[in-house]
Amino acid sequence: MRFLLVEDTDELAQAVASRLALEGHGVDRAATLADARDLLRAAPYDLILLDISMPDGDGRDFLAQDRAAGGSVPVIMMTASASVNDRVTTLDRGADDYIVKPFDFAELLARCRAVLRRHAGAADSLRRFAGFTYDPLGATITVGDETRELRARELRLLEILLSRPGQAYSKAHLIDRLFSFDEMVSDNAIEVYVGRLRRKLEGSGARLETLRGVGYRFFPE
């Protein structure tokens, strides 16, 4: 998944971005709300982590403006205030969730997973298909009696493909979704992850097709 991290404190931003990258997410960081607006216009994001107190404004106002303009990317607000009123205001402005600073990274990751599941309409963490069962929390695919572990970017690639089965995805689009602007990657990187995912799906009946000159298309069953 590709995250937009809107945070002006360098130390915290670097720590969050590093942890999310270890989980296989691409992360772009904006140090101001103006930078965040530019990044939202330039790339597709799956989740926004948004600080309330930014140098050029209030993150809640930014969120309200984004929602009024039709923005639908899920948002987790990061706040130093634990007051009920502030949390209620945050949610009323359109946030999907919030987390109070200082926070544990395990909690942040759990909230990210929960918001992404809700956004995808998946109440049950297990997703069952004709030939395999996918567990995003456990990062596994089970084919028959065999459970196969997914590496971080294999997991993110599968989530993207499962979001719209049968849709053609170009390599450029997958790179945009899997990697941040700071990561230098080539088309070959996508080929590597596609090849690994195919091997994990062997025997399931799922088809991850290569469309020459176009990209890839996935049929889970």
Q: What pLDDT, in 10s, does the model give residues 91-101?
A: 888 899 999 99
Which CATH architecture is the domain 2-120 placed in? 3-Layer(aba) Sandwich (3.40)
Mean pLDDT across 178-185: 78
Q: Which CATH class is domain 127-219?
A: mainly alpha
Give CA–CA dist 92/86, Å, rounded. 10
Residue 71: burial class (beta carbons within 10 Å; 0-12, 13-18, 19+): middle
Residue 165: asked if its preceding bond is cis (omega within 30°), the reply is no
pTM metric for this prediction = 0.65
The 10 Å Cβ neighbour count of residue 173 is 16
Segment among 67-71, 136-140, 162-166 with least mean pLDDT: 136-140
Per-residue confidence (pLDDT) for residue 119, from 0 to 100: 79
Q: Per-residue pLDDT for 127 more than 50?
A: yes
Domain boundaries, the chain: 2-120, 127-219
The one-letter amino acid code at 72 reads S
Mean pLDDT across 76-81: 88
Per-residue confidence (pLDDT) for residue 123, from 0 to 100: 46
Note the pLDDT tens digit of each residue in 23-45: 888 899 999 999 999 999 998 89
